[in-house]
């Protein structure tokens, strides 16, 4: 007889495989629409775009971020850059100020006439963005997190999506992990590659649930109609996407617009970041629970959110199962010790292939892992244009399955006790 | 690209069917390997059965003249391997009809091996070292688990020692007869029979070692001489 936990395991595994197959079939349906444009993109018209860079203690990265915006392959007079210092306590403000200094001694227009700088009391990222929003006069706007660097072709490629279809209200780029220095960052690189694939598929399904801080571009109408950013449990880029989905505003993903982001270098920082993301996901989902499982809200409501909820349950359950197995393993070792002391049993023939696990679930889990690996490979193909295996995938599977459950359970714990995690 | 309120129900169904297909394929592959393993177990059992039959026949033919030859040839080492594989199969393939049938067959082979050993020791006037061990799988019996480990360790130490293990809950008249002969009760498991004495509850390896040494005058194998032995648990 199959135990209760066996049934739960089967159901969760079934749903997890279902989600991966759903992505795979979406990919097969749309694979011809996924293109990487290696030639420079020419637009019929270059609309004006404002890019807001909120910064809080980003002295190490802000310079490169701004330089990347200045190097965008987009007419300079069509880009407005707002650098907003959200009460930094380090040298961020000094760096920002340099961009606003007049370049010529005669006091005429500054070196970067399209850069405006702002300084405010610290109030959180959404307040910095909202300050920027007040001054936006262009029809398109976006944000670029100060830990990210935009590829020169990114903006023009993103804007080409708006040109193609006037119904598109926001376009997210592909976010790629910037130069990995250690295994933690290598693991994240594979994960970011996978996200590119998943985001693109969600784009095809009209079901994207995050418009990430690094260079998602919106039509200003989104904010005019729906209002400014909200605190949203420190995940304002997720909340705005939920709000857009609720109001049937379309979000697309532009796979060949690259933005490079600095990923956390240590387990501790990664943990803090993910805790914030998962906490944000859980709490935004609770806030928007009324649009869950409603066919009016399309695949977003029936697929994206449920699949993320399933993954939380699956990881939580697997973790519980792992702890249980570890416990029973230790228990059996204690019994063994009590029975025979430190005597090592002769187990020579355990190498016999007879003892290889051939249960159904074993094969299913293998299939699931293959599907996940394949989605990383597809993501890599969509960003780097090359097929192939990389060790990053192994690091990703190992590190995320070992630590993932902790930030996930902590996020659930914090939600239950209404404890809000900090930004970093 | 789809409108965000558009839902392609057909796709949800196709993905469902596809996923079910994957599960069925996995289950098919799993069954395939499960059956292969069962075939392997059957092969071992057939071999043991032939071994025992052959020993019995040899024994009847040669009578008392070649006691030495006989006792050398009857040791059916594969019984241990079979026991361990069956136990693993029961946990991992599940207690299917075939596995339970194989387990019964295994118990019978053990009894036959035991009887033959007894017959030989009576006729050749030697003393064979064996322990009968009764345990249960019907309920959680951690003492049984401990006893099993202790007996395995003892077997590693004394390769001549034969341990015949029987599941109390098995539905087999021959095993029930054994239970009756030794008056084994399910409330007093694990139970051991050493040299006609019945011991109930857990007995440590040291305790058993003393008894085994006394009863059977066994020699401990020294570590460097130790050859990998197959346990019967």
Strand order in the sheet with B191-194: B162-167, B130-135, B191-194, B197-200
Q: Under a CB-based contact definition with an 8 Å cutoff, are residues A69 and A51 in contact?
A: yes
What would the mean pLDDT of A384-396 be, rounded to a whole number? 87
Q: So what's the pLDDT on residue A351?
A: 65
The domain locations on chain A are 1-33+165-340+356-424, 45-146
Q: So what's the pLDDT on residue B99?
A: 80
Question: Global pTM?
Answer: 0.84
pLDDT band at A331 (very low <50, low <70, confident <90, very high): confident
Category of A386 on φ-ψ map: left (φ > 0), alpha (ψ -120 to 50) or beta: beta
Reduced to 3 states, what is the DSSP secondary structure of residue B111? Answer: helix
Q: So what's the pLDDT on residue B108?
A: 86
Task: Say yes or no: A391 contacts chain B, CB-CB below 8 A.
Answer: no
Q: So what's the pLDDT on residue B143?
A: 81
**What is the CATH number that goes with domain A45-146?**
3.90.550.10
Residues of chain B with Cβ-Cβ distance to A339 below 8 Å are 145-147, 149-150, 153, 202, 204-205
Could you give the CA distance from residue A152 to residue A68 in angstroms, rounded to a whole number? Answer: 7
Using a pLDDT cut of 90, give the percent of chain A over it.
Answer: 69
Could you give the CA distance from residue A126 to residue A83 in angstroms, rounded to a whole number? Answer: 14
Is B93 found in the same domain as B46? yes
For A361, name the nearest residue in chain B, comparing CA atoms only. B26
Q: So what's the pLDDT on residue B233?
A: 43
Could you give the CA distance from residue A301 to residue A206 in angstroms, rounded to a whole number? Answer: 10
| Per-residue tokens: A68 | 């990347």
Q: Say yes or no to pLDDT of A43 above 90.
A: yes
Could you give the CA distance from residue A220 to residue A139 in angstroms, rounded to a whole number? Answer: 5
Using a pLDDT cut of 70, give the percent of chain A over it.
Answer: 93
Is B137 found in the same domain as B42? no
- B4, part of any domain: no
- B26, part of any domain: yes
- Within B74-220, strands assigned E span 130-135, 162-167, 191-194, 197-200
Is B230 found in the same domain as B142? yes
pLDDT band at A49 (very low <50, low <70, confident <90, very high): very high
pLDDT digits (tens, 9 = 90+) for B172-191: 888 888 888 888 876 677 88
Reduced to 3 states, what is the DSSP secondary structure of residue A357? Answer: coil
Contacts of A132 (CB under 8 A, 6+ apart): A50, A52, A54, A82, A84, A118, A141, A143
Contacts of A211 (CB under 8 A, 6+ apart): A170, A172, A218, A237, A240, A241, A244, A251
Category of A293 on φ-ψ map: left (φ > 0), alpha (ψ -120 to 50) or beta: left
Category of B94 on φ-ψ map: left (φ > 0), alpha (ψ -120 to 50) or beta: left
- B194, part of any domain: yes
- Within B81-155, strands assigned E span 130-135
What would the mean pLDDT of A336-354 be, rounded to a whole number? 67
Shortest alpha-carbon distance between residue A297 and chain B (Å): 5
CATH at B215: 3.40.30.10
Is B118 found in the same domain as B27? yes
Using a pLDDT cut of 90, give the percent of chain B over it.
Answer: 9
Is B43 found in the same domain as B62? yes
For B147, name the nearest residue in chain A, comparing CA atoms only. A339
Could you give the CA distance from residue A55 to residue B233 in angstroms, rounded to a whole number? Answer: 67
The tally of domains found in chain B comes to 2
Residues of chain B with Cβ-Cβ distance to A358 below 8 Å are 29-30, 33-34, 37, 92
| Per-residue tokens: A341 | 């002391």
Terminal Cα-to-Cα distance of chain B (whole angstroms): 62
Is B90 found in the same domain as B15? yes
Task: Say yes or no: B223 contacts chain A, CB-CB below 8 A.
Answer: no
What would the mean pLDDT of A44-55 be, rounded to a whole number? 96
pLDDT digits (tens, 9 = 90+) for B10-21: 999 999 999 999
Q: So what's the pLDDT on residue A293?
A: 93
Q: Say yes or no to pLDDT of B193 above 50.
A: yes
Q: So what's the pLDDT on residue B226?
A: 43
Cβ–Cβ of B30/A360 closer than 8 Å? yes
| Per-residue tokens: A220 | 């200003």
Shortest alpha-carbon distance between residue B146 and chain A (Å): 5
Cβ–Cβ of B5/A248 closer than 8 Å? yes
pLDDT digits (tens, 9 = 90+) for A104-114: 555 444 568 88
Helix H or strand E segment including A81: strand A79-86
For B153, name the nearest residue in chain A, comparing CA atoms only. A345
Strand order in the sheet with A140-143: A115-120, A79-86, A49-55, A140-143, A217-219, A168-177, A250-261, A148-150
- B3, part of any domain: no
Is B148 found in the same domain as B94? no
- Domain containing B209 equals 129-233
Q: Say yes or no to pLDDT of B71 above 60.
A: no
The DSSP string of A391-412 is HHHHHHHHHHHHHHHHHHHHHH
Distances (CA, A) of A359 to A318, A350, B33, B87: 17, 17, 9, 15
Of B126, B157, B191, the residue that ends a domain is B126
Is B121 found in the same domain as B51? yes
pLDDT band at A423 (very low <50, low <70, confident <90, very high): low
| Per-residue tokens: A229 | 């950013």
Distances (CA, A) of A328 to A334, A406, B146: 10, 21, 14
Q: Which of A110-124, A345-359, B70-84 has the lowest mean pLDDT?
A: B70-84
- B23, part of any domain: yes
Is B171 found in the same domain as B146? yes
Q: Which of A114-123, A137-146, B73-82, B93-102 has the lowest mean pLDDT?
A: B73-82
pLDDT digits (tens, 9 = 90+) for A250-292: 999 999 999 999 999 999 999 999 999 999 999 999 999 999 9
Q: Say yes or no to pLDDT of A240 above 90.
A: yes
DSSP 8-state code for residue A302: I
Task: Say yes or no: A302 contacts chain B, CB-CB below 8 A.
Answer: yes
DSSP 8-state code for residue A416: H
| Per-residue tokens: A112 | 């970067």
What would the mean pLDDT of B140-151 be, rounded to a whole number? 82
- Please give the biggest Cα pair distance in chain A: 91
List all residues of chain B from 122 to 141 with a beta carbon under 8 Å from chain A. none
Q: So what's the pLDDT on residue A102?
A: 61
Could you give the CA distance from residue A148 to residue A154 in angstroms, rounded to a whole number? Answer: 13
Of B65, B98, B126, the residue that ends a domain is B126
Is B100 found in the same domain as B208? no
Q: So what's the pLDDT on residue B153?
A: 82
Is B13 found in the same domain as B122? yes
pLDDT band at A359 (very low <50, low <70, confident <90, very high): confident
Category of A174 on φ-ψ map: left (φ > 0), alpha (ψ -120 to 50) or beta: beta
Higher pLDDT: A185 or B141? It is A185
Is B143 found in the same domain as B61? no
Q: Say yes or no to pLDDT of A25 above 90.
A: yes
Instruction: Return the sign of the alpha-carbon dihedral for residues A206, A211, A212, A215.
Output: positive
Q: So what's the pLDDT on residue B220?
A: 59
pLDDT digits (tens, 9 = 90+) for A300-324: 999 999 999 999 999 888 888 888 8
What would the mean pLDDT of B7-35 be, rounded to a whole number? 93
Q: Under a CB-based contact definition with an 8 Å cutoff, are residues A87 and A55 in contact?
A: no
Instruction: Return the sign of the alpha-carbon dihedral for residues A215, A216, A217, A220.
Output: negative
Of B97, B126, B155, the residue that ends a domain is B126
φ/ψ (deg, to 5) at A417 = -95, 5
Q: Say yes or no to pLDDT of A89 above 50.
A: yes
Could you give the CA distance from residue A417 to residue B176 in angstroms, rounded to a whole number? Answer: 58
């Amino acid at each position: 007889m199959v135990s209760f936990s066996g049934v739960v395991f089967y159901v969760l595994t079934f749903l997890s495989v279902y989600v991966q197959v759903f992505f795979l079939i979406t990919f097969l349906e749309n694979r011809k629409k996924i293109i990487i444009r290696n030639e420079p993109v020419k637009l019929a018209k270059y609309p004006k775009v404002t890019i807001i860079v909120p910064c809080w203690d980003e002295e190490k990265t802000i310079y490169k971020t701004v330089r990347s915006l200045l190097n965008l392959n987009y007419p300079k007079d069509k880009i407005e850059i707002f650098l907003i210092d959200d009460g930094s306590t380090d040298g961020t403000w000094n760096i920002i100020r340099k961009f606003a200094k007049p370049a010529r001694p005669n006091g005429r227009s500054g070196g970067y006439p399209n850069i405006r700088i702002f300084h405010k009391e610290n109030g959180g990222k959404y307040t910095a963005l909202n300050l920027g929003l007040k001054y936006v006069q262009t029809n398109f706007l976006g944000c670029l997190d100060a830990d990210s660097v935009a590829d020169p072709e990114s903006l023009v490629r993103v804007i080409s999506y708006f040109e193609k279809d006037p119904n598109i209200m926001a376009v997210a780029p592909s976010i790629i992990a910037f130069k990995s220095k250690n295994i933690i960052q290598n693991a994240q690189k594979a994960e970011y590659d996978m996200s590119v694939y998943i985001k693109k598929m969600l784009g095809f399904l009209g079901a994207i649930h995050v418009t990430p801080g690094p260079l998602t571009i919106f039509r200003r109408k989104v904010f005019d109609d729906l209002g400014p950013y909200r605190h949203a449990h420190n995940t304002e880029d997720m909340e705005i996407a939920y709000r857009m989905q609720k109001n049937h505003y379309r979000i697309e993903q532009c796979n060949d617009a690259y933005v490079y982001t600095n990923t956390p270098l240590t387990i501790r920082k990664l943990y803090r970041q993910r805790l914030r993301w998962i906490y944000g996901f859980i709490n935004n989902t609770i806030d928007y629970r009324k649009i869950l499982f409603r066919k009016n809200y399309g695949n977003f409501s029936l697929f994206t959110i449920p699949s993320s909820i399933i993954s939380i349950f699956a990881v939580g359950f697997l973790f519980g199962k792992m702890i249980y197995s570890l416990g029973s393993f230790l228990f059996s070792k204690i019994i063994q010790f009590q029975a025979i002391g430190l005597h090592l049993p002769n187990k020579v023939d355990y190498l016999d292939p007879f003892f290889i696990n051939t249960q159904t679930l074993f094969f299913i889990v293998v299939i699931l892992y293959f599907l996940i690996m394949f989605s990383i490979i597809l993501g890599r193909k969509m960003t780097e244009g090359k097929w192939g295996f990389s060790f990053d995938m192994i690091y990703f599977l190992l590190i995320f399955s070992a630590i993932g459950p902790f930030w996930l359970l902590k996020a659930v714990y914090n939600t239950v006790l209404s404890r809000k995690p900090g930004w970093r | 690209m789809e409108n965000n309120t558009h839902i392609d129900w057909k796709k949800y169904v196709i993905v469902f069917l596809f996923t079910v297909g994957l599960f069925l394929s996995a289950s098919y592959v799993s069954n395939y390997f499960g059956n292969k393993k069962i075939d392997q177990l059957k092969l071992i059992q057939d071999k043991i059965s032939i071994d025992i039959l052959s020993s019995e026949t040899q024994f009847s033919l040669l009578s008392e003249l070649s006691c030495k030859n006989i006792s050398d040839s009857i040791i059916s080492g594969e019984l241990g391997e079979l026991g361990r594989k069956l136990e693993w199969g029961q946990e991992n393939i599940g207690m299917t009809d075939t596995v339970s049938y194989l387990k019964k067959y295994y118990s019978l082979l053990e009894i036959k091996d035991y009887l033959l050993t007894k017959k030989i020791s009576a006729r050749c006037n030697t003393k064979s070292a064996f322990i009968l061990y009764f345990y249960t799988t019907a309920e959680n019996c951690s003492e049984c688990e401990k006893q099993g480990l202790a007996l395995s360790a003892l077997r590693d130490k004394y390769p001549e020692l034969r341990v015949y293990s029987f599941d109390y809950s098995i539905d087999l008249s021959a095993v029930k007869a054994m239970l009756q002969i030794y008056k084994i009760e399910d409330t007093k498991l694990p139970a051991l029979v050493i040299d006609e004495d019945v011991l109930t509850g857990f007995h440590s390896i040291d305790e058993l070692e003393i008894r085994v040494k006394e009863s059977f005058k066994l020699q401990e194998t020294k570590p460097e001489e130790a050859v990998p032995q197959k346990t019967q648990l």
